[in-house]
Amino acid sequence: MGKVDLSGEATPNFLKAGTTTTHEVLEQIGEPFGYREKGDRSAMIYISFQEEYINLLFSQFRMEKAYRLDLIFQNDVLQKAEIKKEGWGFGANIDPQLIQLLAR
């Protein structure tokens, strides 16, 4: 969502508090996942989500990693940028045919 990779857990280089505008953010990384305005303050949220699959014996593990970039603006100028980890976890997709073969 958006054009931002947050897996390095660092804010994009072009984001500078006190100088970067909302227009520059939209040009660089696209539409935000979430947006809110209240008076002269506004906030944008970007989500970066990746899936990786690891094969181990007779199962396939899915690793999910999600990062969230929160941007706070005052009068359309960036005041704060923060990255948070979200939705980390894994799941297993076990192949039932392989289990049957192992059981024989």
- DSSP assigned state of 21: B
Number of structural domains (the chain) is 1
Is 2 contained in some domain? no
Model pTM above 0.85: no
- Contact partners, residue 24, CB within 8 Å, separation at least 6: 14
Is 47 contained in some domain? yes
The confidence score (pLDDT) of residue 91 equals 52
> Which bin fits 76, alpha (ψ -120 to 50), beta or left (φ > 0)?
left
Is 3 contained in some domain? no
Q: Using one digit for the tens of pLDDT, what is the confidence trace for 33-84?
A: 888 999 999 999 998 877 777 777 667 677 777 888 999 999 999 999 999 8
Q: Could you tell me which residue, 28 or 93, shows the higher pLDDT? A: 28
HSE-up of residue 33 (Cα within 13 Å, Cβ side): 14
Place of tokens 């969230």: 68
**What is the domain range of residue 62?**
22-103
